[in-house]
Chain A
């Protein structure tokens, strides 16, 4: 399969992840969508790296995965803290920024 197929696959997963971020009511559900999007990006990276013959892309992917892990940990910690303070994780109720 050519590069094109992999890229299209990644795009589709990215779109689905975006749908999840925009649509889900539960904050953790939003985080899951973010994970999907990041995954799709990694697929993209690896596909490009493989088809262009440079390993640097692979190394970069390793870093991306690690950073994603850190971000997911932080996000979940914030969700837990939010739950403690507000007793809810529904994104509808977190509107302190309301102007």
Chain B
């Protein structure tokens, strides 16, 4: 019961803020709505009993990405003296395409017999994830580190000051 209320309210928040992200005329507002949407996602993770992931989501997404997007906006837009506006184009076609895609996926989902009840968790998720990434998935983990390094280097190089 509680879960249902939680799910629906989170759904409303998530979908509502997602819509606001893509429809808002002010870019800065879009970013703020995105922060809300990301937080909503973290809530969904909590509902799914993946606390660790919720924490990661909040840290990295809602904290990190929103921050860097804000910085990017500051760098690329003239904040002072001008409104940050943007408009959309190809609205109808885009809407039709997305709606069709949503409908298709929903249709595909509803045709399948999917489990409605979840088994109770037996293990501690954080522990499992930790053990997993250090034993079984240690290679992807290390590669992820390399990827991060590369991304960082690349970003630094791209965004270096002109000289």
Contact = CB atoms under 8 A, between A and B. Distances in A.
Direct contact of A and B (CB under 8 A): yes
Interface of A: 1-9, 11-20, 22-26, 28-29, 31-33, 35-36, 39, 42-43, 46-47, 49-53, 55-56, 58-59, 61-63, 65-74, 76-81, 83-84, 89, 92
Contact-residue bracket for chain B: 35 or more
Given A4-B110, A20-B21, A56 B75 contact: no
A59 B137 contact: yes
B158 A80 contact: yes
Nearest to B116: A2
Contact of B158 (A17, A25, A47, A81): A81
Nearest to A1: B7
B63 to A, nearest CB: 10
Contacts of A17: 18, 22
List the 10 closest pairs (A to B, CB-CB), nearest first.
A20-B22, A2-B116, A70-B151, A77-B158, A15-B102, A77-B155, A15-B98, A22-B94, A19-B98, A11-B105
The binding surface of chain B is classed by DSSP as helix
Contacts of B141: 63
Interface in B124-157: 125, 128-129, 132-133, 137, 140-141, 144, 147-148, 150-152, 154-156
Contacts of B73: 28
A76 B69 CA distance: 7
B129 to A, nearest CB: 5
7 contacts: A15-B101, A15-B102, A22-B93, A24-B88, A55-B125, A68-B61, A80-B72
